[in-house]
Amino acid sequence: MRRLKRLLLGLLVAVALLGAAELTLRLTLPVVRTATLPDTMIRSHLQNTGFRYDPDLYWYWSMLPSAAMQINEFGFRRVKPMTQKKPPGVTRVITFGDSQTLGAGVGPEESYSAVAEHELGAGWEVLNAGISGYRSLNVYRLLQRRIEAFDPDIIVIDCMPFDSAREDGTLVGKPLGAWDTQVRSLLWKSRLYYVLRLGLDKLRPNHERWLDRVARPGDSLGNGNHDLIVAWGKAHDVKVVFMQYPVSGEDWSLGCHTLPFELPKDLPVSPACDALKQSGRSGRALFQDRNHLTVAGNVIVGHTLAQTLAPLK
């Protein structure tokens, strides 16, 4: 009996200590932090951007419209007016990806989506559905949950092929209830969890992070979620365009996290990596950090995307 009491007391003390640590971090850290990107990048994303937990999408905009990030009432980063119903005679394109697509660090009219729309001219609409941290799994679920109503003609996918687990679940589409979604919600909101992850990442400087993952010939990973995205496009009569995912190395060298054998065959690919390399510009001129493009980088990628899209009208 005494041993049981000691065990219960120990559990209560441990819970109290964890609770105190979480509370302290919530008071000292104004935003949730993750260990997958540098701290300064996380702060720039989340201090001015509000996310809420979503059982299907994992995180989504907490409020629409969002003036801080120029996210309109439909969930797109756009300052120009638009309607949910596609205007007659307009080819509607929607771009998907993470903060590279969103245009973190540049204005909404400086993102590559806006550049492409400007270059394509009248009769085109390029909507920016980028969300910080989104990977192919998030994008595939976003397509199912929110995109069909906008009747796109073309979708553009700017995600690394093997950036997340392959989709194998059903959409919840309802308030939190299951224990696993509750756990995910707690982890997403927990400062303590992300500080521990950040600490482990610091202790393992040579550990291969998701941004450093490069597939190799012979990998038995299939196409990740990319082939599922293609299947969604076929089912909804929507053309699918993939984009090479450009990155900058620690030494500002130009790299690419999309190799030809990684993508589904016989589909258009916008050669963003090739265009940046062929521009002759340095990594410092094209990137703000590992994967966020400068204004100059967005201009080049947007121009390349416009050239890829134009024949598809």
What is the C-alpha R_g of the chain?
21
- Say which range, 60-74, 221-235, 244-258, has the weakest mean pLDDT: 221-235
Closest CA to 130 of 53, 66, 78, 82: 78
- Domains detected in the chain: 57-178+215-312 (3.40.50.1110)
Q: Which distant-in-sequence residues (6+ apart) come within 8 Å of 101 by Cβ?
A: 95, 111, 112, 113, 128, 129, 130, 134, 158
pLDDT at position 221, please? 46
Please check the confidence at residue 57 and state whether its pLDDT lies above 50: yes
Whether the model pTM is above 0.85: no
Backbone angles phi, psi at 56, to 5 degrees: -100, -45
pLDDT at position 37, please? 37
pLDDT at position 303, please? 98
Q: Which helix (H) or strand (E) holds 202?
A: helix 191-203
pLDDT at position 162, please? 77
Residue with tokens 């005494």: 2
Task: Write the CA distances from 202 to 199, 214, 251, 289, integer angstroms.
Answer: 5, 21, 19, 18
Where is pLDDT greater, at 200 or 154? 154
Task: Write the CA distances from 305 to 40, 93, 113, 116, 276, integer angstroms.
Answer: 29, 11, 8, 6, 12
Where is pLDDT greater, at 43 or 58? 58
Closest CA to 163 of 220, 113, 209: 209
Closest CA to 99 of 238, 215, 247, 307: 247
Where is pLDDT greater, at 136 or 171? 136
- Per-residue pLDDT of 181-217, as tens digits, reads 556 556 656 777 767 766 776 676 665 554 445 555 5
Q: What is the mean pLDDT of the chain?
A: 82
Where is pLDDT greater, at 247 or 18? 247
What percentage of the chain carries pLDDT values higher than 90? 48
Instruction: Determine the 3-state secondary structure of 279 from DSSP.
Output: coil
- Per-residue pLDDT of 14-38, as tens digits, reads 888 888 888 887 777 654 443 333 4
Please check the confidence at residue 255 and state whether its pLDDT lies above 70: yes
